[in-house]
Structure 1
Amino acid sequence: QEHLAACVQEQCGGGGAQALCGSLQAYAAACQAAGGSLREWRAAAQCPLSCPPNSHYALCTHTCRHTCASLTAPPQCSPRCFEGCECDPGFLFNGQECVPSDSCGCFHRGRYFEIAETILSH
Structure 2
Amino acid sequence: MTTLEVTTENLEYEFNHKTQQSFYKQKFALQVDFSIYFADVHFEKQVYAFGSGLGFTSVIYAYSLGRDPEEAEKLALEKYDSDDTKVKKVHVNLARSQDINRYTFPEHMAGFANAIQSHGVAVN
Q: Which has the higher strand share?
A: 2
Q: Which has the higher contact order (CA 8 A, sep 6+)?
A: 2
Per residue, is there more helix in 1 or in 2? 1
Superposition TM-score tier, normalisation by shorter sequence: under 0.3
Give the TM-score, by structure 1 length.
0.23
